[in-house]
Structures are given as C-alpha cells and as structure tokens.
Structure 1
Amino acid sequence: MLNSRILLVEDDAIIAMGLESKLKSWGCDVCNWVSSGEEAVNETFRLKPDLILMDIGVKGEIDGIEVVHRISSLNIPVIYLTGRNDKEMLKKAHKTVFYALLKKPINHEILKHKIRSALEEQRKLEKK
C-alpha cells in the first residue's frame, strides 16, 4: 500500500482523524480530507487519487453516492463507509461502481485488506 494516494471523504472530524492516522501508519498518503460531497467531486478531479474512502452521508447538497456517480469516468476505486443501515440507501449505492462497502465502526484490519485488494486490482487493470 506504500505510495498510494487516498482521498478521505468524511464529515465527522474525529473519525477522519482516526482514519488518517491509521492510513499513514500503513504507509498511505492521505492527499486530502474533505467533508462535503461538492468538495469530494472537486478534489477528486483535481488530485486524481489512487483510491477514495467515501462516507455516504457527507455534508452538502450531494451525498457520497452521488459523488461516485459524478466521478465515475475517472475509474478510481471507492470504498464506501457508512453508519446507516437503510435498505434504500444500500440499493442506491449498489447502482454505482465501488470496491467495497464497510459499516461503521470500521474494523481496521478489514479496511486495510480492502484497500490493499482494491489497489492491487486497480494496478492490474492499468497494466492491461
């Protein structure tokens, strides 16, 4: 996972700081942390990160699922993070292309495995 640039989209500062610290301890570069859907769209196109950790229920006019729709042309792997458990939200999320959906509180070992797998899969696709 070294040298991977990750955009963190999370509106809870405490969760974001914890995730950022954990990601850095794994050798990841958190290229930015944003808290709204609009910022997430702008920063994704500006930074073109290797992977995005996307909270579904972010601040702003658009949620994390809509962000993924708007950035889909970039083919960046997305791991959804959510504290919600409603079926409509899950159905909406499954209409997008994403690598994984993890429920909060996040199990860090599972997150680490998903990040590693998503990045490896993405690198294989880029070599083709």
Structure 2
Amino acid sequence: MRHFDGSVFAAALLEPATANLWCASVAPKAPAPTGALSPVEKTGRLRVLIVEDEMIVAMSLESLVEDFGFEVCAMAATGAEAVTFAKALRPDLILMDVNLIGDMDGVEAARQVRETMDARIVFVTAYGSGEVVERIQSTIPHAVVVSKPVVGSALLRAIERTDPD
C-alpha cells in the first residue's frame, strides 16, 4: 500500500493540522453489516492500521507487515487520525507509536479506540522506559510493547502474542 507521497508527508510533519494529507487517499469504508463476514474472514489476511508520525518508520512497518502477509488498511500520523480510521475501518490490529504529533499521544488514542472496539494493539516506541510501559499497562492491560528500532522477528512475535486464540 504505497499510497503516500514523501513530500506531502514532510509538509504534514511541519504543520500538524495538515498531517492527514499523506493518508487521505485511503478512504474509510463503512463497517460491515451485522451478520456479514469480517474483512479477515473474507480475505484471510489480518488488516493492520499503522499509526506512526515518522515517515521512514511508517514505511518500514508497512514493509514488514506486508512481508508477514498482512494487509495495511490505512496509515495515520496523529492520535486523532488513528481514532477516526480505527472506528471507520475496524482493523484487526493496530501498530501504535506512543509519541505522535498533535495533541493526542498513542496511549490516549488506544484508550479511545478500545472504548468502541476490541482491536489488538501493539505499541511501538523508542521510549521503553518504566514510566511509559507502566502508563501503557495501566491504560491497556496486557498490552504488548515493541522497542524501536523494530526488528521483524520481534514485531511478529509481538503480533502473535496479541492473538486471542
């Protein structure tokens, strides 16, 4: 899903109010009607929302997710976008950076998403200190945290740990 242009993303980083420009080409789809097959049941692929405000990291996560055979359904750079996309697209999994541009960080965005749906969430952060992990765990019990720089095998293990089965 190589849908964003780096120059637009760079401009979005300079102006957080326009941060959604780089992922605007991913139109949110209406939730499936009750009784309909979920997207993962239809395609057999895990649908992943990537929430990351650093373009290089977002692209790296996208590449890893696709290498695992999963589908990237959208990418967001702010907490507000993450909440909007999660509610509209209902992904199976969210890869959530903790420190995001804008007023809402990843922990708060995850809390808001969890109020309306039970998405699996893997936090991806460069700040794996005790304080950050404690805040994540107190907000989203049993949350899985992966440290940056992300290694593919560690990310895959983290995703597997979120599987309810």
User: TM-score normalised by the shorter chain: which range applies?
Assistant: 0.7 to 0.9
What CA distance in whole angstroms lies between the structure 2 residues aligned with 1:50 and 1:111?
15
Tell me which of 55, 70, 82 is aligned to 2:97: 55
Residue 113, structure 1, aligned to residue 164, structure 2: no
2:87 match: 45
Q: 1:99 aligns with which of 139, 143, 147?
A: 143
Give, in whole Å, the separation in 1 of the partners of 2:72 and 2:91.
9
State how far apart, in whole Å, the 2-side matches of 1:17 and 1:60 are.
20
User: What are the Cα deviations for residues 37-88 of structure 1, in whole angstroms up to 9, with x where unaligned?
Assistant: 1100110101110000000001110000001111113111100010114433
Q: Please name the residue that 1:5 is paired with.
A: 47
Q: Return the TM-score normalized by structure 2.
A: 0.68
Percent identity, please: 31
Match of 2:72 in 1: 30
Aligned partner of 1:77 in structure 2 is 120
- Please state if 1:65 is matched with 2:107: yes
The CA distance in 1 between the partners of 2:113 and 2:136, in whole Å, is 14
Q: Which runs of 4+ in 1 moved over 4 A?
A: none
Considering Cα pairs closer than 8 Å and 6+ residues apart, tell me whether 1 or 2 has the greater RCO.
Answer: 1
* Aligned positions, number: 121
Q: How many angstroms does 1:116 deviate by?
A: 2.7
Paired with 1:5 and 1:76, the residues of 2 have a C-alpha distance of 11
RMSD: 1.7
Query: Quick check: 2:145–2:158 contact (8 Å CA) kept in 1?
Result: no
Q: What secondary structure does 2:94 align onto?
A: strand
Q: What stretches of structure 2 of length at least 5 have no aligned partner?
A: 1-39
1:17 to 59, 66, 76: 59
Letter aligned with residue 96 of structure 1: T
Amino acid aligned to 1:116: E
- List gaps (5 residues or longer) in structure 1: none
TM-score normalised over the length of structure 1: 0.86
